[in-house]
Structure 1
Amino acid sequence: MKPIRPYGSWPSSISAAHVAAAGRKFADLRVDRGAHEGPRLYWLESRPEEAGRNTIMTLSEHGATSCLDAPASARSAVYEYGGGAFAVHAGFIWFVNASDQAVWMRDPEGHLSAITDPDADIRFADLQYDARFGRLIAIAEDLDESLDEPAARVVSIHRDGSVHTLASGQDFYASPRLSPGSDRLVWLAWNHPNMPWDVSELWQASIDDEGHIGSPTPLWQPDDVSLFGPVFDPDGRLHVVADVDNWWNIHRENEAGFEALTAEQGEFGVPQWVFGQSTYDFTDDGRLFALLAQDGAWHLGEVDRDSGTFNAWRHDCDFFEQITAIGDRIAVVAANPARAKHIRRLDIEGAGEVLRSADSLPADAALSRPESMSWPTGGDEIAHGLFYPPVSERWTAPPDERPPLILKCHGGPTGATDTALDARIQYWTSRGYAVLDVNYRGSTGYGRDYRMALDGVWGVADVEDCRTGAAYLAEADRIDPDRVLISGSSAGGYAVLSVLAFTDLAAAGASYYGIGDLKRLLASTHKFESRYLERLIGRDDDTLIARSPLYHADQLSCPVLFLQGGQDKVVPPDQAESMVEALSERGVPVAYVLFESERHGFRNADNVMTAIEAERTFYSRVLRISDVEDLEPLTIENFDSA
């Protein structure tokens, strides 16, 4: 028999240090096809123990090896979220250096040199190497202060560091891709007020035998379709993902334009918050392997290029991202509810090996397994999420007690939760909290209609989905309805503050760089999201005020914890500080933790640990959970701890 302790007070072997270590992430899988020994895999790896520095990794006879020494860090800041920060060929690596946003080169001997001017006000992303003509193709963003907003363009970068414009005049560009013979260049573009998952266009330019790149011409300019991930097959036939019939399916070029290759009720695409994402690729012999999201889980498989049928492999993982072909094999980032994200290399029959893993949780830790949930919500709609019940290898709770619930709200809001092992969630469930990870309306993975269901009702529909999700669990007697907590970051932080201001659902909340004042956000946010509110809410002042928690702080009476990065340009610190001031003046219990060096999202291991420990202290004190050990100090204004 396990000893009995109240929910929320269970000691756990999963520490804040484990949560911070789980910040090691893998991205931008790239293949050096010019390597003498044959195709060679590289990837981007974040280092939370080095204040979030990104290094570029590859495989050598000594195993996984870092190609960049500190302080060099490969991180783009184009559109603030960046991505696609390096390219490789014949042992040379070109990367965007985080500190100056210039393109640098690392030669095979490890020497670094700047290619573009580090003092220029230009940022670069989505680097592609053109081996035929010895140049880079990239997206550039000019930060000239004389411009009303940063200007994006498609560029070529030459050996002498000169930057030549290939396409300009549209608000945003992404995904420049070269055909196998470097005789065609394609890219995506979109304009305000659209986001790339709303409406985007596909463009091309021809390349002659001298390397001259011709004038841009449109290939596909839909009115209400989102395009994603253009990829050429080995024969030079262009493919692109499009949500023509609600779902992001793979299409291919034909004489009349594009035709649907797949017809799955699932998603071969993801929202383009960052550059460099990939969901399908071709092996050298032309076989097509892809990742498909359905009902909150991901599948890896092969697409029959004749019938378009997607044949999913039997696999122990149900989360995948960043697929790339390596000759006749593939590499992918994979995970499942019991295993953190890792890089696998697989042959075309599905057998493979693990190349690199994130830090794991303690071997003896009992892990909570996600339960896929759907529940009725407002407007006769259905909302989705993953429910994690509390679980411990050592403890149990009194039989008549039900656990406190943490509603977890992802960012975006056009994002999605997934089934990959999440150390942060396990940190809570192992201590006796239940967690509902909400895929509220507006989330991806459930088709275009669901993704667009937040248009005009942000701050209403997502709030309703959180409220009805908690009610659904309470009715099933799986949680304590009087101890509902809510936590979220960025747009998820806005959901937190909206739930607290406009409902009586939660006993307390934690807002990670959340939005309190939509009017101020509209006036101050960066270019990429500067028109985002037009779709989600509109520009009418009355509506913006009606949906802004700051203007309704008098309706908010429960304790709130704010955690904020001091260098955040996406959701600036004044958003949190205005809320803290308004609540503090009214005598509402409030705590504020500012991380001066952090941007949008915490990357430094010490800060990640401080944040989650502050959140645990906050919940333990406001819920008055007894016998909780090893709590870190936290100042909560206007709170009587007696």
Structure 2
Amino acid sequence: MEPATVAPFGTWKSPISAQSLVERAVGLDDVLTDSSGDYWIESRPEENGRSVLMRRTLNGRTEVVTPEPYHVRSRVYEYGGGAATVADGTVYFTDYRTHQVVRLSEGRQPEPLTPEGPYRYGDLHWDAARRRLLAIREDHTAQGHPTHTLVAIDGHSISPGQVLVSGHDFYQAPRVSPDGRRIAWVSWNHPAMPWDASELWLGEWAPDGSIQQPKRIAGGPAESVQQPLWSPDGSLYFISDRTGWWNIYRWTPESGVTPVTALKAEFGVPTWTLGQSTMGLIDSHTLLATYSIKGYSHLVRIDVDTRELTHIRMPFTWIGRLKVGPTAALMIVAADNDVSQVVRFDWHHDRFQTLRRAWERPVMPDYLSRPQPIEFPTSDGTTAHAFYYPPANPHYRAPEGERPPLVLFVHGGPTTQRFPVYQPAIQFWTSRGFAVADVNYGGSTGYGRAYRQRLTGKWGIVDVDDCVFLTRYLVRQGLADERRLAIRGSSAGGYTTLAALTFRKTFHVGASYYGVSDLASLAQETHKFEAHYLDSLVGPWPAAEAEYQARSPLAHTDQCRTPVIFFQGSDDRVVPPPQSAQMVEGLKAQGVPVSYVTFAGEGHGFVDGATIVRATEAELWFYAKIFGIRLADPLPPIPVANLS
């Protein structure tokens, strides 16, 4: 190998191009188990983000199940989830184009079961006892916010479904007991989010297929519950954070609710999407589950009688969806040195088999930047968490004494988290000589309820403080150049980015991907699921209007002197385009270098491959222009106002 070339950070030539991020790449959205094979849903950037149901057959053949132009995706609560289920080889799915529920049987053409029109469906679940489908239905018939109900779809004729449960603002996870006698579901009401306060309900089936004698068995105003899971013996398992951490509990008619696990760890996840699953039953005595501590996932086998946990060795640092089938489990996983993938876990021999990789390009070990966990002191006397990715390129080294420019990634949500996994989008930066920090600021999930609630009433304060304190910490440690500090984020992370650029003087450039700039507009215009989210993050609207104004970057563009690039989809309903456009005009008027890049047809979260490529290249070009970095490969310039 030739000696490394001495070249400034940021100027290194990289084999990881923006185009390579979407070539032979897919998003892995869900896994499904059935006696007919192993299934998963993958989204394809090269097909304008179309989501496809795939199957690995019993004889080992991989095939596409849903033909073009079907798009297997739900839009319930805007974020969707639970878009498909399989029962004895028959597939049921929601088509994103029409929002209809479609049945697809072996050797037959797809059959719509619900009409086109004002309905959306998600969290599909097969009721084997009554040979029908259960779902969460979102009804947009009336003006204003939609109505949500739990419905049954019999499939004998095209119908919007029979309403089984109504009256609460939101529902998720309808699950029928194996003997067909009972049903469990989760519900919650405004102003709570499901990770703040939700309830687990139980009902009996009446002879006519309706639900009778509903009763709440867990949850309440200070407890979050999720993932009801029936055992063949009639027990019901679920996850609750009643002790401050999402642990597993069991309900029986005789004993009520008793704990199964009692760790300072998170078995649960924030249920932004329907159909989340982090546990399953191998048999009536054994659970297979995943939990996380400080961002790292662990896989365990749990004896529910003795409550003994047996850890299973695995090469992964993160486990997303986990579904247990008749003979094996399916999971979406990733590692700190490998991309996300669908794996089949044979619990008899503790063996993992990869069925599908999210990125078919081989990982190049010499260019690998592995995440380093960091716990750093922050403003309120506590500590916060992040992962640091150093520059990595075998063909280059920086001049003696030089520190790398830093790109700080701020996750959206804000009630989500980042994980220590291989992400091609991060390696794109580190292979060019940038350092990357991925922050789990106060309010992130994965660190217990108290850490989540650090953000209560303090969005735009605690998260911004943690970003600033992390950056200062990295500079003090010699891990970042104090003169070249960038911050970027999407959605809620875009808000934190804009707030940091407006109200602090730490960063030198920023990128907002469909970020919030006007909190008052968000509170008044956003969709039903998040209509009262800001009540807990900022304060009740309109009583706390002054606080909304004080924390909105749009109201204080005169305080921002930092160059910003904005990326916005024209069809975004979560953060509408005027949020970005007005902020851009305000910065232009102040003489701040600003660029506004819009994408027709994109919504909240970019899915088209061409969009992802253009945005990635534009962000790199913009940072290089501001930092004075001469890139190894020229990129097409973008219009920038007020840039001399």
Normalized against structure 2, the TM-score is what? 0.96
Q: Distance in 2 between matches of 1:62 and 1:292?
A: 30
Deviates more, 1:179-188 or 1:307-316: 307-316
Task: State the match for 2:10 in structure 1.
Answer: 8
Q: Distance in 2 between matches of 1:330 and 1:444?
A: 25
Task: State the match for 1:95 in structure 2.
Answer: 93
Q: Distance in 2 between matches of 1:180 and 1:444?
A: 32
How far is 1:285 from its partner? Answer: 5.7
Q: Distance in 1 between matches of 2:456 and 2:300?
A: 33
Distance verdict in 2 for CA 1:464–1:323, change over 3 Å: same
Distance verdict in 2 for CA 1:22–1:624, change over 3 Å: farther
Q: Distance in 2 between matches of 1:22 and 1:6?
A: 31
Q: Output the aligned Cα RMSD.
A: 1.4
Task: State the match for 1:574 in structure 2.
Answer: 578
> Does the 8 A contact of 1:64 with 1:356 survive in 2?
no
Cα deviation code 1:236-269 (max 9, x no counterpart): 2101100111110000013353111101110000
How far is 1:209 from its partner? Answer: 5.4
Q: Distance in 1 between matches of 2:280 and 2:362?
A: 35
Distance verdict in 2 for CA 1:362–1:343, change over 3 Å: closer
One-letter identity of the residue aligned with 1:422: Q
Q: Distance in 2 between matches of 1:101 and 1:237?
A: 34
Of residues 27, 31, 42, the one that matches 1:25 is 27
Task: State the match for 1:453 in structure 2.
Answer: 454
Task: State the match for 1:302 in structure 2.
Answer: 301
How far is 1:338 from its partner? Answer: 1.2
> Does the 8 A contact of 1:416 with 1:444 survive in 2?
yes
Q: Distance in 2 between matches of 1:451 and 1:309?
A: 28
Of residues 84, 88, 92, the one that matches 1:86 is 84
Q: Distance in 1 between matches of 2:438 and 2:219?
A: 36
One-letter identity of the residue aligned with 2:65: C
Task: State the match for 1:354 in structure 2.
Answer: 354
Q: Distance in 2 between matches of 1:137 and 1:507?
A: 51
* Residues 261-410 of structure 1 aligned to structure 2 (within 5 Å): 261-284=260-283, 286-348=285-347, 349-364=349-364, 366-410=367-411
> Does the 8 A contact of 1:220 with 1:257 survive in 2?
no
Consecutive unaligned residues in structure 1, runs of 5 or more: none
- Mapped pair 1:153 → 2:149: yes
> Does the 8 A contact of 1:319 with 1:420 survive in 2?
yes
Q: Distance in 2 between matches of 1:164 and 1:215?
A: 18
Deviates more, 1:311-320 or 1:163-172: 311-320
- SS at structure 1 position matched to 2:367: coil
> Does the 8 A contact of 1:512 with 1:564 survive in 2?
yes
How many residues align structurally?
633
Q: Distance in 2 between matches of 1:363 and 1:74?
A: 29
One-letter identity of the residue aligned with 1:548: S
Consecutive unaligned residues in structure 2, runs of 5 or more: none
How far is 1:133 from its partner? Answer: 1.2
One-letter identity of the residue aligned with 1:71: P
Q: Distance in 2 between matches of 1:593 and 1:309?
A: 54
- SS at structure 2 position matched to 1:247: coil
Task: State the match for 2:493 in structure 1.
Answer: 492
One-letter identity of the residue aligned with 2:329: I
One-letter identity of the residue aligned with 1:353: Q
Q: Distance in 2 between matches of 1:22 and 1:306?
A: 46
Distance verdict in 2 for CA 1:481–1:574, change over 3 Å: same
- Mapped pair 1:598 → 2:598: no
How far is 1:223 from its partner? Answer: 2.5
- SS at structure 1 position matched to 2:133: strand
Task: State the match for 1:243 in structure 2.
Answer: 241
How far is 1:543 from its partner? Answer: 0.3
Cα deviation code 1:611-634 (max 9, x no counterpart): 101100110101111244221221
How far is 1:41 from its partner? Answer: 1.6
One-letter identity of the residue aligned with 1:29: V
Q: Distance in 2 between matches of 1:583 and 1:411?
A: 23
Cα deviation code 1:586-609 (max 9, x no counterpart): 111001110111111000011111
One-letter identity of the residue aligned with 1:596: A
Task: State the match for 1:545 in structure 2.
Answer: 549
How far is 1:20 from its partner? Answer: 2.3
Q: Distance in 2 between matches of 1:211 and 1:194?
A: 31
Cα deviation code 1:569-595 (max 9, x no counterpart): 001111100101100111110011101
- SS at structure 2 position matched to 1:500: helix
Distance verdict in 2 for CA 1:84–1:555, change over 3 Å: same
- SS at structure 2 position matched to 1:245: coil
> Does the 8 A contact of 1:22 with 1:359 survive in 2?
yes
- SS at structure 2 position matched to 1:244: coil
Cα deviation code 1:327-378 (max 9, x no counterpart): 2421211110111111111222411311111224454451100000000101
Q: Distance in 2 between matches of 1:73 and 1:122?
A: 16
Of residues 35, 47, 50, the one that matches 2:47 is 50
Q: Distance in 1 between matches of 2:519 and 2:637?
A: 32
How far is 1:212 from its partner? Answer: 4.1
Q: Distance in 2 between matches of 1:178 and 1:22?
A: 39
Task: State the match for 2:38 in structure 1.
Answer: 41
Cα deviation code 1:401-443 (max 9, x no counterpart): 1001111000100000002211111000001110110000000
- Mapped pair 1:411 → 2:412: yes
> Does the 8 A contact of 2:219 with 2:225 survive in 1?
no
- Mapped pair 1:477 → 2:478: yes
Q: Distance in 2 between matches of 1:321 and 1:357?
A: 14
Task: State the match for 1:203 in structure 2.
Answer: 201
* Residues 522-561 of structure 1 aligned to structure 2 (within 5 Å): 522-538=523-539, 539=541, 540-561=544-565
> Does the 8 A contact of 1:339 with 1:360 survive in 2?
no
What percentage of aligned pairs have identical amino acids? 40
Deviates more, 1:209-218 or 1:251-260: 209-218
Q: Distance in 2 between matches of 1:129 and 1:355?
A: 25
How far is 1:234 from its partner? Answer: 2.3
One-letter identity of the residue aligned with 2:423: D
Q: Distance in 2 between matches of 1:628 and 1:588?
A: 27
Distance verdict in 2 for CA 1:620–1:245, change over 3 Å: same
- Mapped pair 1:217 → 2:215: yes
Q: Distance in 1 between matches of 2:510 and 2:486?
A: 6
Q: Distance in 2 between matches of 1:391 and 1:30?
A: 37
How far is 1:309 from its partner? Answer: 3.2
